Amino acid sequence: MSVDLLLSPGFIIIGAAVLLCLPTARWRKIVVGVAPLLALLRLWALPTGSHGTVAVATFNLDLLHVTATGRLFASAFLLAVWLGGMFAAASASRRELISAYVYAGSAISVTLCGDLITLFLFWEAMAVTSAVVIWSARTRAAWSAGMRYLLIHLFGGVILLAGIALWYSTGGSLQLGVLQRPSLGYWLIMAGFLVNTGAPPLSFWIADAYPQASPTGMVFLAAFTTKTAVYVLISYFAGADILIPIGLYMAIYGALYALREDNVRRILAYSIVNQVGFMVAAVGIGGEMAINGATAHAFAHIMYKTVLLMGAGSVMLSTGEQRGSALGGLARRMPWTSACVLIGAAASMGVPLTSSFVTKSLILEAAAEHHLSMVWLTLIICSAAVVFNAGVRFPYLTLFQPQQSEAVEHGHDPGTLSRVAMMLTAAICLLVGLFPGYFYTLLPYPSNYHPYNVAHILEQLQLLLPAALLFFISLPLTTPVGQIQLDTDWLLRRPLLAMWHNGIMRLLALGLRSRDYAVASLVRGYTLLFHYHGPRGILARSWPTGSIALWVALMLVSYVILFTLRSMDMATFIKLYLHG
């Protein structure tokens, strides 16, 4: 393995995870602050293309293959792990930090690998390490949610592996590139990737698992899995029409479910599904502008969701609350957090001068360019509906509504390092929005799109303000307290779980019965054998000579009768018998 491969940005982060085992907190903070920046420098020093392969059996694994798209995704991941690590350094457990770093390193390696086998290996590493991040919260709910999360992702992994095997067996190439020939393998690979985006019918896992992680753990979780899935969809399925309705469903689903949610971190989790829906739809639209839009929006989303989750984490760490119905009134107690959350919320809605304004509009423009009017209309409505989740609902419930409980009185801004991390993330959200021209040069395809014109700014505000007005008017109707919405996870958690338990019990009972029967048969057989062949058994006795002579005579007579019967035909025998 060459030095180039060993110094891959993903491996640097995985190596940093080993250094995080150091017992001193000060050294851990240094590793967290330095390693991602080194990896980022290394990433941008690497030219595009393959940097050597490793032969394993009959396969050549392309462990480090840099593309423009992969580089931007990897940069976003490195920034997320750097800022997330700084935010978490003071309060996260060592186990959480180490698993988060291996998870991030695996995600970065997925974006920088050049074949499906390497992709699968890091894909599975991501599934396991992210489950450990969830379990690091050390609560019963986190344990159960982590198990469900792992189950879903291992299921996705099995589908992906089956797809890769089928694809390869039918002559398909394993190298990085858009798959062209729809076959069973093609569809299975796509399904495996879609599981990680939170596509239907498995959209529930994001809101089920992420909010059960620790306040710092969710910051890491929100950045990697779904965006890695968007990256692989761009790399292998750009322009696949089927992704458009899937993306639209996700965008609507996220907006709807967030609207009835009380838990602020679940609101943000639904917002992830909503925004990833935009990216999946953009991949389905295909073409240079749409792919640019999906890539740019993934970068912007990682940044603004990171700052929002840092805000939610700070609130949770200081108040111990994450129910919107128990928060509010924190804006004055947490001024730095509030300022950063407001920037993140503005970026999520696409307010002019923030990141999403210059990235989401690429996707909308691509839909219009392809004359997909219904797609454009749905995306425009879902774009306005961001107000219902991360845009207005989350900051209002957390910071600006009247104080709802005494827990809020403990609210305060986090420590210096966490605050700096939050402010840097918010600054990136603003920088992307303020200098779109420079940001567009980093995208996979050249772009001459200009987001800042009077019409676009007015249209965006015309979308957002009426939506905000509707949100505030309908607030009493859409704020259920102490309620959850059932999702397709109900099938997993009720009937399938019951079937599993019943099946296991029945199998165990059957196993026990079979074992008892086998043991009883063995004992019976042995007793019988002992009865005849034992020391007192009939076949083990020494018989007198007379008995033996009698037995021999009987055997001879039988032999004579059998011989007579065999040598004459049946008719002669009957005649002899009847007439003497």
Partner 1 sequence: MDNRVPRKPVIFCAVATALLVLADLLPYHHEGPHLPSLYIGISFIGCGALILLAIIIGWLVGRREDFYER
Chain residues binding partner 1 by CB under 8 A are 252, 255-257, 259-260, 325, 377, 380-381, 384-385, 387-388, 396, 401-402, 404, 453-455, 458-459, 461-487, 493
Q: Which of 482, 544 has the CB closer to partner 1?
A: 482
Distance (Å, whole) CA 43 – CA 10:
9
Shortest distance in whole angstroms from residue 365 CB to partner 1: 11
Shortest distance in whole angstroms from residue 170 CB to partner 1: 41
Helices (H), 241-354: 243-259, 264-285, 288-319, 335-349
By the 8 A CB rule, do 545 and 539 touch? no
Q: What angle do CA 50, 77, 331 make, to 5 degrees?
A: 165
Shortest distance in whole angstroms from residue 498 CB to partner 1: 13
Shortest distance in whole angstroms from residue 384 CB to partner 1: 5
Shortest distance in whole angstroms from residue 463 CB to partner 1: 5
Shortest distance in whole angstroms from residue 395 CB to partner 1: 11
Q: Which of 461, 520 has the CB closer to partner 1?
A: 461
Q: Which of 461, 556 has the CB closer to partner 1?
A: 461
Q: Which of 499, 568 has the CB closer to partner 1?
A: 499
Cβ atoms within 10 A of the Cβ of 431, count? Answer: 15
Distance (Å, whole) CA 524 – CA 519:
9
Q: Which of 9, 411 has the CB closer to partner 1?
A: 411
Q: Which of 371, 579 has the CB closer to partner 1?
A: 371
Token couple for 356? 């999403």
- Kindly give, in sequence order, each residue whose CB lies less than 8 Å from that of residue 547, ignoring residues fewer than 6 positions away: none
Count the residues in the chain.
Answer: 580
Shortest distance in whole angstroms from residue 273 CB to partner 1: 14
Residue 477 Cα distances to 261, 386, 472, angstroms: 12, 18, 10
Q: Which of 302, 385 has the CB closer to partner 1?
A: 385
Nearest to residue 312, comparing CAs of 87, 86, 33, 36?
87
Distance (Å, whole) CA 234 – CA 321:
38
Provide the pairing of β-strand 54-56 with 49-50.
unpaired
Q: Which amino acid is at 220?
A: F
Distance (Å, whole) CA 126 – CA 85:
17
Q: Which of 7, 252 has the CB closer to partner 1?
A: 252
Shortest distance in whole angstroms from residue 22 CB to partner 1: 40
Q: Which of 424, 457 has the CB closer to partner 1?
A: 457
By the 8 A CB rule, do 337 and 307 touch? no
Q: Which amino acid is at 464?
A: L
Shortest distance in whole angstroms from residue 28 CB to partner 1: 36
By the 8 A CB rule, do 29 and 20 touch? no
Specify the residue for token string 């694994």.
Answer: 61
